[in-house]
Amino acid sequence: MSWTRYAARARSSRRGFLRGAGLGAAGLFLSPIFRRLHAEAQGAAAPKRLVIIIEGNGFYGFSRWDRLTMDAPRETAVTDMASELPMVASWAPWRDRVVALHGLANKQGAGQGAGHRAHYYALSCLPYANGSQPGGPSIDAVLGRTLPSDDVVFPVVRLGADEGGRGLVPFNCSTARGTTVASQFDPRAAWLELFGAGAPDAEDRAAFAQQGLLLDSVHRYASSAGARLGGDERWKLDRYLYSIETFERRQAALVARTEQLMACAPDAPGAMEGTGLRTALQFNNAAAALICGLTNVVVLSIGPGLTTFADWGFGGRHSMGHGGGATEHRPGGIAGLIENHDMIANEAASLVTQLEAVPEGDGTMLDNTAVVFINDNGEQHHAKYDTFPVVMLGDFGGRLRSGGRLVEYPNWKQTGARGLAELWRTVAHAMGATGPEIDGFAAGNIGPNDDLLPELL
């Protein structure tokens, strides 16, 4: 991507980069990237960033939850394990920044599809509302409302990859009880929404502008028609209009940053056949959105539900969950699922590498970022949600403790059990997010949800 030429020039001197960028004093304040670098030169703290990778069909490679019968957490080095955790191979260059967590309870109910999926449990840590709707806001939405947002266009960027490339799909995220929020599963549509204002191709820029024109027309018509409504209908229309106005403000903010987007956007996606290729493209979109300063929070729903990664040679995650699914090129069963985890982690490694190439403060953007890998179905195929294993890379500049460790917690039946919601609140506090929404995150859930996780602090 074109950002690398800026990163290479910047490595020698942050202040030298500012002087050499050739944008002049006004240019520095037109671009979030250069404003951020200018702030660093004045000693301001860099923002903290979170990337959540959430996949489906169960997270394998950890011991059985019912073997965690101790009454206190225990720690081992990742390198001391008999068989390495998924993605440790792909994340080997950053192993000292990795921490794996096992045993965090999140039993919010039976899920859906006979234990095949629990769309909202992992990020909201609440039971379903009305049988299938989210029980409350997901952690990404809470962070998007809580973290400072003056220098970002999108409080949260939500992307996804599956075999269909289906466009906007509500899957793992929610803004409130009963209110889902969609992720963009089409890499090209995501690219156009994020970077279309600075696209080198005139047709792409026109397509981006057309989105704004269409919504402007809808907004005018809805506002006129709304004058004849009252009560609940008017309230629903007002919410709809607010959504349009939010989109229009984001469009305007992106247009104002056209030159910046031209400098740091990735190339437009070409062919997009196959879940694996879409996964790679979405990680590239996510990295560029962070580097361009468009957001500080990203959710990537990769292979949710029962997605097949046929273009990577796999025989189907559902089949592998039942012990089958072997192909000429890939193993089946648990071995196949673990290999699939690692291939997704390998694509995440490309994002990590890009962040590590961008100077920030006395280090790089990676120093102020954490990447959290989790599964929306907990510990296994046909899950009972006894534990939601997590592997995390990064520590927000030392605010979290990683150190190449595996931390295992007592299972939910034992004294000393801890909950997934406590992890999310620990992450939020490390990012500097505070307030009632953070302190009360997942309040009323089927615990534990009492405190922060001291093993990470």
Question: pLDDT, tens digit, for every residue of 267-307?
Answer: 887 767 788 889 999 999 999 999 988 999 999 999 876 67
Per-residue pLDDT band at 250 (split at 50, 70, 90): low
- Contact yes or no for 350/280 (Cβ under 8 A): yes
H/E run at residue 220? helix 202-226
Q: What is the pLDDT of residue 218?
A: 44
Q: What is the pLDDT of residue 84?
A: 57
DSSP label at residue 393? E
Per-residue pLDDT band at 4 (split at 50, 70, 90): very low
Give percent of the chain above pLDDT 70: 75
Per-residue pLDDT band at 320 (split at 50, 70, 90): confident
Q: What is the pLDDT of residue 390?
A: 92
Per-residue pLDDT band at 34 (split at 50, 70, 90): low
| Cβ neighbours of 149 (radius 10 Å) | 16
| Strand ranges, E, within 261-375 | 297-302, 359-360, 363-364, 369-375
Cα(278)–Cα(173) distance, integer angstroms: 20
Residue appearing with tokens 């709707």: 133
Burial of 22 (0-12, 13-18, 19+ CB in 10 A): exposed
CATH value of 48-191+265-456 in 3.40.720, 2.40.50, 3.40.1800, 1.10.10: 3.40.720
Q: What is the pLDDT of residue 446?
A: 82
- Contact yes or no for 63/101 (Cβ under 8 A): no
Token pair recorded at residue 8: 């290479």
DSSP label at residue 198? G
Please tell me the least confidently modeled range out of 214-223, 313-322, 430-439: 214-223
Token pair recorded at residue 418: 């801890």
DSSP label at residue 416? T
Cα(57)–Cα(380) distance, integer angstroms: 7
pLDDT higher than threshold 90 for residue 391: yes
- Contact yes or no for 205/223 (Cβ under 8 A): no
What stretches of 227-332 show up as alpha helix (H) in DSSP?
231-256, 258-264, 275-291, 317-321
pLDDT higher than threshold 90 for residue 418: yes
The per-residue pLDDT for range 111-155, each reduced to its tens digit, is 665 566 678 889 999 988 887 888 999 999 999 999 987 788 899
Residue 413's contacts (CB-CB under 8 Å, 6 or more residues apart) are none
Task: Calculate mean pLDDT across residues 3-29.
Answer: 34
Residue 391's nearest CA partner among 101, 21, 56, 136 is 101
More confident residue, 372 or 121: 372
Q: How far apart are the first and last CA of the chain?
A: 35
- Contact yes or no for 277/240 (Cβ under 8 A): no
The residue ranges of every structural domain in the chain are 1-44, 48-191+265-456, 200-260
| Cβ neighbours of 428 (radius 10 Å) | 24
Cα(240)–Cα(225) distance, integer angstroms: 13
Q: What is the pLDDT of residue 247?
A: 54
pLDDT higher than threshold 60 for residue 341: yes
Task: Calculate mean pLDDT across residues 327-356.
Answer: 89
More confident residue, 84 or 266: 266
Read out DSSP for 28-70? HTT-HHHHHHHHHHTTPPPPPEEEEEEESS---SS--GGG---
pLDDT higher than threshold 70 for residue 62: yes
- Contact yes or no for 315/336 (Cβ under 8 A): yes
What backbone torsions phi and psi does residue 393 show, to the nearest 5 degrees?
-120, 120
More confident residue, 338 or 118: 338
Token pair recorded at residue 42: 């004045």
pTM of the shown model:
0.84
Burial of 111 (0-12, 13-18, 19+ CB in 10 A): buried
More confident residue, 255 or 173: 173
pLDDT higher than threshold 90 for residue 420: yes
pLDDT higher than threshold 80 for residue 248: no
Residue 186's nearest CA partner among 310, 120, 281, 254 is 281
Per-residue pLDDT band at 17 (split at 50, 70, 90): very low
- Contact yes or no for 126/137 (Cβ under 8 A): no
| Cβ neighbours of 362 (radius 10 Å) | 10
Max mean pLDDT among 34-43, 48-57, 84-93, 383-392 falls in 48-57
Per-residue pLDDT band at 50 (split at 50, 70, 90): very high
Per-residue pLDDT band at 28 (split at 50, 70, 90): very low
CA distances from 332 to 85, 307, 339, 397, 433 (A): 18, 15, 9, 39, 42
Q: What is the pLDDT of residue 300?
A: 97
Residue 300's nearest CA partner among 190, 410, 379 is 190
Residue 174's nearest CA partner among 166, 163, 182 is 182
More confident residue, 252 or 193: 193
Q: What is the pLDDT of residue 132?
A: 81
What backbone torsions phi and psi does residue 72 show, to the nearest 5 degrees?
-145, 155
Round the average pLDDT of the chain to a whole number and report it.
79
